[in-house]
Amino acid sequence: MTDDRADRPTLPGIELLELRARTNLNEVWRGVRRDSGAPVAVKLAVAASGQDALRQEAKIVHALLEKGLAGVVPAEYRDDPVPHLVLPWKGERTLRDALGKAPGADARSRNAATFLEVVRRVARAHREGFLHGDLKPENVLLDEQGRPWLTDFGMARAIRSARLESHISLSMSESAAGWGGTLHYLPPEGLQGEAPAPSWDVYALGVMLHEILLGHRPDRAATPERLKSVLPEEVVEVLLAALAYSPKDRLRSAQALLERLESIGSELTATGPVRWWLRSRRFAVVGLAAFFVALRYGTMLLLLAGYLGILGLVFTVHPAFLAAYLPILAVHAFVRWEGPETMAEAEARRRGTLFGRK
């Protein structure tokens, strides 16, 4: 996007080069510092509510950086001659660009590894008392090394709680700039006008994870069974926990989501031979279980067929030979073999309750 208008803003110490994005609240420009030539991004307010959002964004970013949170793009607020933020230029590539290249399995795993880093940063922000409020692939910048950077905290909020009644949270009105976000990443309760909560970020992260794994945003018509047909069951369980319709059923914070994701990290982020090994190992476990089931019940069928064969032979030759079959019946009256122990039987035997005794 370019802009050749005559009234292009003039900012002290900054030369604006190119308009990169425009919303009803602000404009984002690519520019350079006149003294050093360092590339910067400049966010200009174009409405009164946009000015409030810029001030709030600068406060939250400053607070997060003060607390040592890595992976957040610094933002310097200035109000002369117009309110604006100056941010270091991290490039134009975003997580959306990484998702838009129709990646193969290894590329999806790399995107999932990037996503896991994003969740770590959001979890840290939640612990420090802030929610982002507008998480989406476009707001995750990827630098030249592929490292993710969180940006656009214009919809961020301080999470009010007893331990967070600091001068920062008290200085921010919950309605200072209204509440917004991006429609596809807002949870159902957000569309119904409820107050923002950390579970809003969890929902947005769930939508992003769905896009990474399946290439599109969630479809409400998709059933858990359909998801399990294309994804491992443990991955589907985490995905559903992040995308639950009711906030009561959803994971409450990014930290809870992070813990669930780290428990299945190898399923999400493994690439190359490791990914194939994990997949083949899962199939091997399923095959081994199927083998023992077949062994258990197949053996029983073979024994039954053998007994029927013996009986047929006895009655074909002479019924008197039935006496030779009586010892086998006597043994099976006291001893039954039903194949390998099940896990439940093994646990019951260990506890001494296999035959109903303590």
Residue 46 resides in a domain: yes
Q: How far apart are CA 58 and CA 76, in angstroms?
A: 6
Res. 169 pLDDT band, cuts 50 70 90: very low
* Least confident range of 52-56, 252-256, 347-351: 347-351
3-state secondary structure of 16: strand
pLDDT tens per residue, range 301-326: 777 777 677 667 666 766 666 666 66
Residue type, 183: L
Do 178 and 261 have their domain in common? yes
Do 248 and 323 have their domain in common? no
Alpha carbon of 325 to those of 104, 231, 304, 309, 317: distances in Å?
A: 64, 53, 14, 11, 13
Q: Which of 214, 243, 273 is the last residue of a domain?
A: 273
Q: Which of 221, 250, 273 is the last residue of a domain?
A: 273
DSSP state of 3: -
Do 82 and 194 have their domain in common? no
Do 159 and 288 have their domain in common? no
Do 231 and 261 have their domain in common? yes
pLDDT tens per residue, range 196-212: 899 999 999 999 999 99
Do 23 and 108 have their domain in common? no
Percent of the chain residues topping a pLDDT of 90: 42
- Domain count of the fold of the chain: 3
Q: Which of 245, 273, 301 is the last residue of a domain?
A: 273
Mean pLDDT rounded to a whole number for the chain: 80
Residue 9 resides in a domain: no
Provide the whole-model pTM: 0.71
Is the confidence at residue 182, as pLDDT, over 90? no
pLDDT tens per residue, range 60-86: 999 999 999 999 999 999 988 889 999
Do 224 and 253 have their domain in common? yes
* Least confident range of 5-9, 54-58, 183-187, 303-307: 5-9
Residue 108 resides in a domain: yes
